[in-house]
């Protein structure tokens, strides 16, 4: 059941950036293999690389609504931003619906499950038991490494008085099904629309 839901979702997520036209090369060079870009994103001879897909599921220790829960989720978003800035987290986002208790996903640009576990264990929602990670080795397009930079270009700068939405699509706020309050990390595909 999970594979039936996850595979189409991943396909759609990865197909969208492929459908976008790459930026024009200012030198006028024809499109084709870019060895420097391939090396920068860690592409192998097929243009692919190893990742670890992490599914965050509902844990058995839900923190009650209030300031402590808000702080836990603020730490969750800050941690995702830190990992994205370090080039270790290339994709993150909540599931709009929660099949089998699925809350969100990460795609880490690491080679091993142990590396991914070490990164996930820095997340306050994992530390507190709010969410439990499941780890899956994954082999996908190295172009996914470019997603954070493209995402940055899609998010308009916030006005000084703007307050980010505290609601993930379809969750209704910071309750049990929410990913929590706070801004989404720039550089990941974890943004939410303003309410």
Residues 6+ apart with CB under 8 A from 67: none
Question: DSSP code of 81?
Answer: H
Quote the pTM value: 0.68
CATH match of 43-154+167-180 with 3.40.50.2300: no
58: buried, middle or exposed (CB in 10 Å: 19+, 13-18, 0-12)? middle
Question: What does the pLDDT read at residue 26?
Answer: 59
- Give the integer Cα–Cα distance in Å for 9 and 162: 31
Nearest to 70 by CA among 124, 120, 16, 118: 124
Residue 134 has pLDDT above 90, yes or no: yes
Question: What does the pLDDT read at residue 44?
Answer: 93
Select the more confidently predicted residue: 24 or 171: 24
Question: What does the pLDDT read at residue 88?
Answer: 95
- Chain segment 30-75, per-residue pLDDT in tens: 578 899 999 999 999 999 999 999 999 999 999 899 999 999 999 9
Measure CA 169 to chain center: 15
131-141 β-sheet, strand order = 89-94, 102-108, 48-58, 131-141
Q: Is 135 helix (H, G, I), strand (E, B) or coil?
A: strand
In percent, the amount of the chain with pLDDT more than 90 equals 53
Domain map (residue ranges) of the chain: 43-154+167-180
191: buried, middle or exposed (CB in 10 Å: 19+, 13-18, 0-12)? middle
Question: What does the pLDDT read at residue 167?
Answer: 39
Residue 69 near residue 63 (C-beta atoms within 8 A): yes
- Give the integer Cα–Cα distance in Å for 10 and 89: 16
Task: Compute the C-alpha angle 17/22/24, nearest 5°.
Answer: 165
- Chain segment 138-184, per-residue pLDDT in tens: 999 999 999 888 888 888 988 776 555 443 433 333 333 334 433 34
Three-state SS letters, 46-75 = CCEEEEEEEEEEECCCCCCCCHHHHHHHHH
Question: What does the pLDDT read at residue 98?
Answer: 79
């Amino acid at each position: 059941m999970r594979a039936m839901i996850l595979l189409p979702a991943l396909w759609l997520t990865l197909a969208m950036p492929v459908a976008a036209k790459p930026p024009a090369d200012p030198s006028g060079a024809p499109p084709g293999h870019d060895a420097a870009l391939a090396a920068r994103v860690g592409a192998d001879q097929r243009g692919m690389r190893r990742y670890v897909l992490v599914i965050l599921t509902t844990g058995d220790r839900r923190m009650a609504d209030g300031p402590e829960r808000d702080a836990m989720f603020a730490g969750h978003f800050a941690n995702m931003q830190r990992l994205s800035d370090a080039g270790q987290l290339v994709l993150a986002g909540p599931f709009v619906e929660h099949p089998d208790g699925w809350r969100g996903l990460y795609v880490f640009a690491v080679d091993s499950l142990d590396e991914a576990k070490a990164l996930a264990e820095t997340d306050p929602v994992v530390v507190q038991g709010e969410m439990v990670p499941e780890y899956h080795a994954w082999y996908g397009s190295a172009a996914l490494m470019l997603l954070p930079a493209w995402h940055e270009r899609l998010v308009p700068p916030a006005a000084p008085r703007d307050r980010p939405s505290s609601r993930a699509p379809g969750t209704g706020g910071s309750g049990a099904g929410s990913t929590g309050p706070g801004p989404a990390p720039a550089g990941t595909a974890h943004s939410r629309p303003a309410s």
